[in-house]
Each structure stands twice: as C-alpha cells, then as structure tokens.
Amino acid sequence: MSVTPDLLGLRMPPEWARHARTLISWPVRQSMCHPEAYEELCRSYNEIIQAIAEFEPVTILVNKQEVVAMAMRFYGQQFQVLHIEHDDAWLRDNGPAFLVGEDEKIAGVNWRFNAWGEKYPDWEQDDQVATKVLQYFSVRQFDAPFILEGGAIHVDGEGTLLTTESCLLHAQRNPHLSKNQMEAYLQSFLGVQKVLWLKRGLAGDETDGHIDNVACFAQPGQVLMQICADPADENYAITQENLSAVRHMTDAMGRELEIVTLPQPPAMFAADGQRLTLSYMNFYFVNGGIILPVFGGAAEKTDHAAQEILRQTFPERRIRAIDGLAVVREGGNIHCLTQQMPPGRPYLRQ
C-alpha cells in the first residue's frame, strides 16, 4: 500500500472547523424515487443553497442533463431561462417580430430563416426558435411565407418601415419576390403602410447590409444615421448615398424626415485581417435607456461623440455604454443579439 494520510500528518478536521466552501451536487431527476417531485426538490435545493450561501461560498456540481433546471431555479430570481436549442445566437434575426393590437393584445410573426442567405449551415434549429418562443409565451403566431431577419427592418410605429434592398432583395433569400410583392408582405405582416428602401448596408457586413448597422428611427419623423466622412473609406459612397436618399424621403404620415448623423468609428480589423463591422447604430432601446456598443482604443473619440449625440437626442433616456468589441468579432452587436417583447396579453387563437 502506498503512503497513507496519517503518515504525512494529515487528519480530517471536524465539520465545525472553518470551511473554505460547501460543495453540493444538483439533484438528478432520473435517480429520484419520486421524479414527479423534481420541481419541488429543486425549489428545496435552491432554498438550501441560498441558506448555506448566507454563511459561506457554495460550489454546485451539476450534470448537463439537469443544468437547465438548475439555471432556471437560480436565474428565476433575476433572469428567465428557457431551454430552446439554437444553431447561432442572433435572436434579432431568428426570433419572432412581436406585434401589438387593440386592448394590449400581442401576437408574433415567424419569419423563415436561412442563416443570412444560406451562409452558415445548419439553421434548422434557428428556423424553429421564433415558433418555440411564441409557443412558450402562448402568443398567436403568424407564419410569414418568406425569408427575413429581424435586423433587416426598422419601424417607426406610425406606419413606416426602413430597410435595405441589398438584403431584402438578395438572390439567396427571396428570389421569387419582386420589390412590390415584398412591400405588400411587409405591410401585411407588420401592419405598416410605407416601406422606405435604402440601397446598401455597410461594406463587408455579412448580413448583406442589415439596416440595423446603417440607420434607425429615433422617433416618428426622425432618423439616426451613421455616416462615413472619409472619401477613401469604402463606406463613404454607401453612407453618403443613403443620407442623400433619406433626405428626399417622406414617411407614411407624409412627414419629411429629420436626420441626426453619428460619426463612423475608425476601421478596426480582426486577427485574420477582416474588417470588423462597427456601428453605433446597433444600439438597443430598453425601457428608459439605450444600450450602446462602444469600441475603445482608436474609437474613443467617436465613442464619445456617439454617446453625446444620443444623450442630446434622447434626453429622457440613460445611455448605457458597453464594450462591443468581443461581440462584433462574431459579426454583430447588441441590437443583433436582442429581441424586445411588448407588454400585453396573448392574442387568443380564434
């Protein structure tokens, strides 16, 4: 027999001696005498773990099989956790578009999804995400018979939709639809009356030019646009063309559009030399605030300018900057990975 602990002066301390931490294993449903009581048992474990945590750190050992239950139990206090399998994480693009009706009824549109023009197989699970979300919330679902990503559209809530031709009319998405047919669909499924088309999105944007890196409504009648001021930059022609187009547009209410411009951050590149698609326009509205991606380093000056412009544009909202660099390396930003759900009661199936 090899050396035993006693020979090295080791001994088991009594349980009342000071602990570094308590370890605990999360319960295993299939091991249970009463698996039907699993939820109740999880509640008990939660209480126990919280009670121990009043005294000392806790380490939880967990099986893959049960970790969703564990997460739901703990996050339930702070976050809701849904186990919905997905291929990629951009919920703006594969999630539902929520709709509101009279009496605070809500419904949702399930677009077809093909991973940005069949760029990133597989996308079967992603194409099911909107349906699963709507089912979870018992919200009536309308199935749109065409490909669309949520990041490709912005609405002003008063009948106007803003989008880009380069994405919505792309050959890998809906080659069977004309521009007029697409407009009719958007009107039907989103309850808008007028579609404003820009030609192109940012150079190199793998979404084929989502509007949510280009421009958005700040309020009805007012559009925010990120504009490139450097004629040597490939985004110069694109953003100037868009700026000029919006200047000549009117919205569904017949208003000319007031334009607020934001500066483009300096070009940054991934380790492989690919240019990152940086845009302050990928900010996200939250209740009483705005989550704004900033990029730091060489972008410090434009980061600052973007925050100032948003503060002036939205004096009643708190501008909450976050470091957007890690996420943008994966191709999008805060707007791409979120999806807002309006308050309201589910619109019942008829």
Contact 163, 197 (CB under 8 A): yes
**Is residue 98 a contact point for a copy of itself (CB under 8 A)?**
yes
Phi, psi dihedral angles at 306 (to 5 degrees): -60, -45
Instruction: Considering only residues 59 through 88, tell me which ones interact with a copy of itself, judged by CB under 8 A.
Output: 59-65, 67-68, 70-71, 74-75, 78-88
DSSP 186-247: HHHHH--SEEEEES---TT-TTSS-GGGTEEEEETTEEEEEE---TTSHHHHHHHHHHHHHH
Q: Which one, 221 or 266, has the nearer CB to a copy of itself?
A: 221
**Is residue 268 a contact point for a copy of itself (CB under 8 A)?**
no
Minimum CB separation from a copy of itself for residue 231, in Å?
30
Number of residues that bind a copy of itself (CB under 8 A): 135
Round to whole Å and give the CA distance between 241 and 237: 6
Phi, psi dihedral angles at 4 (to 5 degrees): -105, 160
Minimum CB separation from a copy of itself for residue 222, in Å?
11
Round to whole Å and give the CA distance between 276 and 284: 19
Instruction: Considering only residues 34 through 63, tell me which ones interact with a copy of itself, judged by CB under 8 A.
Output: 34, 37, 40-41, 43-45, 47-49, 51-63
CA dihedral 339, 344, 346, 350 (to 10 degrees): -120
**Is residue 107 a contact point for a copy of itself (CB under 8 A)?**
yes
**Is residue 89 a contact point for a copy of itself (CB under 8 A)?**
yes
Instruction: Considering only residues 119 through 158, tell me which ones interact with a copy of itself, judged by CB under 8 A.
Output: 120, 129, 133, 142, 145, 154-157
Q: Which stretch binds a copy of itself (CB under 8 A): 224-232, 256-264, 294-302, 326-334?
A: 326-334
Q: Which stretch binds a copy of itself (CB under 8 A): 169-177, 237-245, 281-289, 296-304?
A: 281-289
Given 131, 233, 320, 346, the residue binding a copy of itself (CB under 8 A): 320
**Is residue 298 a contact point for a copy of itself (CB under 8 A)?**
no
Q: Which one, 301 or 329, has the nearer CB to a copy of itself?
A: 329
Q: Which of 342, 341, 343 is nearest to 82 (CA)?
A: 341
Active site residue 336: yes
Phi, psi dihedral angles at 143 (to 5 degrees): -90, 115
**Is residue 311 a contact point for a copy of itself (CB under 8 A)?**
no
Q: Which one, 102 or 171, has the nearer CB to a copy of itself?
A: 102
Minimum CB separation from a copy of itself for residue 152, in Å?
13
Round to whole Å and give the CA distance between 291 and 296: 15
Round to whole Å and give the CA distance between 342 and 179: 29
Given 32, 229, 237, 253, the residue binding a copy of itself (CB under 8 A): 32
Instruction: Considering only residues 204 through 233, tell me which ones interact with a copy of itself, judged by CB under 8 A.
Output: 216-217, 219-220
Given 198, 228, 291, 310, the residue binding a copy of itself (CB under 8 A): 291
Q: Which one, 18 or 176, has the nearer CB to a copy of itself?
A: 18
**Is residue 269 a contact point for a copy of itself (CB under 8 A)?**
no
- Produce one character per residue of 71-94: b if its CB has 16 or more CB atoms within 10 Å, e if not: bbbbeeeeeebeeeebbbebbbbb
Say how far residue 57 (Cα) sits from the centre of its chain: 33
Residue 195 makes CB contacts below 8 A (sequence gap 6+) with 160, 161, 163, 182, 183, 186, 187
- Would you please indicate which residues are annotated as catalytic (active-site) residues? 336
